[in-house]
Chains A and B, each alone.
Chain A
Amino acid sequence: MKQLSIIFSAIVCTTALVSCKKETTEVTEKLPAKDSVVASQEVHKEMYGVYYGYFSPDETPDDGEYPDEDFVKKISLKINKITKDSVYGQSVLNGNQRPFRGILNENTSSLVLDEPGTDKSDGRFDVKIKGDSIIGSWTAFNQSAVRIKSKTLKLEKKEFVYNPNFMLDKDTDLVDWTSHKTAKVSYGKNDDGSEESYETDQQRYATNAIFTINASKQKLTEKDLKNLPKLDMEIIKNAIFARHGYSFKKETFRQFFNQSAWYVPVSNNVDAELTPLEKENAALLNRFIKYAEDHYDTFGR
């Protein structure tokens, strides 16, 4: 009995202590929070948002190498927060997301934004905001490590919204210009029996299925996918990610989705945003893409 009462009182004491501690922490938590709000008063909220557009090299590098197909790239600058002394945000380019921090000069409405500098392709944005557009330049920190040392930006403010109804623009070019193989095509045999041939680029083509099948809205079945070429399934799957603002690393998907006005790449990871339906469809599509890859042109079914 005595033991029991000791235990009981011990429990009462601890509960009291715990509750007491809780209250005090709450108080102490609140105070600095108020302070920080004062210190980091947000200003120019109207500038917040995503700015998306062209990111082109100032000059062709004279290293003799032929420029990539997507020499002119498209970049997103996302401004998340502006305080009296700092600007916070991130740049997203070809699936590479980099945070930046900088300052705003309110008189000239110009921004100087620095990427962390931990990546060899990090640099400084020196831009001006004018209404809904951002114009300016970018210079690499490490001039010797990158091929293109400075670039020009021409961005427009874009509103990013997720809408499962978004479909690829009907005028989207069905040819995949980014991946191709060269094939020898024969003209036929000459009189002397020698063969004449020329080399041609063989492109992959998507079909109209990419305009009708929406993996963000309808539950896809095996039957829906069985007759689709691999490229179609890849586009249908990646349309899910495009709707969530995913920035593609692969040029093929940038080419296809950049043709739709609604596509605004804002992130390099949207996995957490997917709906259960989209996750299910993506898993099914992955299975079919894998099957197409392994079996479409091999000896087998």
Chain B
Amino acid sequence: MLTSKNLVFKSMIALAFIYFFGLMLKITLDYVPISSNVSFLMIKQTEVHSRPEYLPIFYIHVYSSIFALLAGFIAVFFDKNLKYLHRFSGRIYVIVTLLLSSISGIYIGFFANGGWIAKLAFVLLGILWFYSTFRAYAEIRKRNIRQHRFWMWRSFALALSAITLRMWKVILVYLFHPNPMDVYQIIAWLGWVPNLLLVEYLIKKQKP
């Protein structure tokens, strides 16, 4: 009984993720081939022209994060079974996140739209993402599975902000028609803080 309920729940989660991952993939493919003024970069020409490193780092973030998202989901989804797949996708997630996605995310966070409020949110998100991923990795090296699990939840909750941030944007724009940067300042925080709170609640619930 419990397992069939679990199965339904799990497949719903998987379907939802596949749907939103498809949307993210579509956004990512807007940046293929590489162009200096496509999509989001249309309003980032100041940075593109004044900082030669901006464009390469931006593209590192865009191209690597889509893999982090997929690998992270597979690793969290198959956390108890399919050990080989869990380890393989987990390694990819940790390597891509630590070396590429989070670091580049912190850099572009410093030049985020929406003033210091948004910048602070994105830089903090990047740092926390790096830290939680690193802690998760360190815990599993020590064979500390329980803590590894919790830190990975935190890490992937932050990774999912890529999706939740954009979801909130659609909702807020639909409801209130705010000016573009006003909504941006809000989603910069709304994208990841509730995710993290939810995960902390789930972790608390796990404690015996």
Chain A residues engaging chain B, CB cutoff 8 angstroms: 207, 221-223, 225-229, 287-288, 290-292, 294-301
B167-207 Cβ-contact flags toward A at 8 Å (1 or 0):
10110011001011110100000000000000000000000
With contacts A227-B179, A228-B179 known, is A287 near B42, CB below 8 A? yes
With the chains together, A107 CA to B169 CA distance in Å? Answer: 69
List 28 A–B pairs whose Cβ atoms lie within 8 Å, in order of A's numbering: A221-B46, A222-B44, A222-B45, A222-B46, A223-B46, A225-B43, A226-B43, A226-B181, A227-B181, A227-B182, A229-B177, A229-B179, A287-B42, A287-B43, A287-B45, A288-B42, A290-B42, A291-B42, A291-B43, A297-B174, A299-B27, A299-B166, A299-B170, A300-B27, A300-B39, A300-B166, A301-B40, A301-B184
B180 engages A296 (CB within 8 Å): yes
B23 engages A299 (CB within 8 Å): yes
Chain A, residue nearest B40 (CB): A301
Name the B residues within 8 Å of A225 (CB-CB).
Answer: 43
Decide if the interface of chain B is mainly helix, strand, loop or mixed. helix
Q: Does B113 contact A (CB under 8 A)?
A: yes
Name the A residues within 8 Å of B44 (CB-CB).
Answer: 222
Chain A, residue nearest B112 (CB): A301
Name the A residues within 8 Å of B177 (CB-CB).
Answer: 229
With the chains together, A292 CA to B43 CA distance in Å? Answer: 10
Chain A, residue nearest B187 (CB): A301
**Which 9 interchain pairs have the tightest Cβ spacing?**
A227-B181, A291-B42, A297-B173, A222-B46, A227-B179, A299-B166, A301-B40, A226-B181, A287-B42
Name the B residues within 8 Å of A298 (CB-CB).
Answer: 170
With the chains together, A295 CA to B179 CA distance in Å? Answer: 13
B180 engages A227 (CB within 8 Å): yes
B166 engages A288 (CB within 8 Å): no
With the chains together, A53 CA to B2 CA distance in Å? Answer: 78
Shortest C-beta distance, A91 to chain B (Å), equals 39
Name the B residues within 8 Å of A294 (CB-CB).
Answer: 39
With the chains together, A295 CA to B169 CA distance in Å? Answer: 10
Shortest C-beta distance, A293 to chain B (Å), equals 11
Which B residues between 116 and 175 are near A, CB-CB below 8 angstroms? 166-167, 169-170, 173-174
B40-56 Cβ-contact flags toward A at 8 Å (1 or 0):
10111110000000000
With the chains together, A297 CA to B39 CA distance in Å? Answer: 14
Chain B, residue nearest A227 (CB): B181
Q: Which of A222, A229, A299, A300 contacts B43 (CB 8 A)?
A: A222
Name the A residues within 8 Å of B27 (CB-CB).
Answer: 299-300
Name the A residues within 8 Å of B43 (CB-CB).
Answer: 222, 225-226, 287-288, 291
With the chains together, A294 CA to B42 CA distance in Å? Answer: 11
Shortest C-beta distance, B151 to chain A (Å), equals 28
- Given A291-B42, A294-B39, 5 more pairs with CB closer than 8 A: A222-B43, A222-B45, A227-B181, A228-B179, A228-B180
Name the B residues within 8 Å of A221 (CB-CB).
Answer: 46
B46 engages A295 (CB within 8 Å): no
B170 engages A295 (CB within 8 Å): no
With the chains together, A291 CA to B44 CA distance in Å? Answer: 11
B82-100 Cβ-contact flags toward A at 8 Å (1 or 0):
0000000000000000000
With the chains together, A227 CA to B178 CA distance in Å? Answer: 9
With the chains together, A288 CA to B44 CA distance in Å? Answer: 10
Name the A residues within 8 Å of B170 (CB-CB).
Answer: 297-299
A296 engages B173 (CB within 8 Å): yes
A292 engages B180 (CB within 8 Å): yes
Name the A residues within 8 Å of B166 (CB-CB).
Answer: 299-301
Chain A, residue nearest B185 (CB): A227
Shortest C-beta distance, B102 to chain A (Å), equals 18
Chain A, residue nearest B179 (CB): A227
Name the A residues within 8 Å of B174 (CB-CB).
Answer: 297
Shortest C-beta distance, A128 to chain B (Å), equals 50
With the chains together, A295 CA to B167 CA distance in Å? Answer: 13
Chain A, residue nearest B170 (CB): A299
With the chains together, A137 CA to B184 CA distance in Å? Answer: 54
Shortest C-beta distance, A175 to chain B (Å), equals 14
Name the B residues within 8 Å of A292 (CB-CB).
Answer: 180
Q: Which of A223, A229, A287, A290 contacts B180 (CB 8 A)?
A: A229
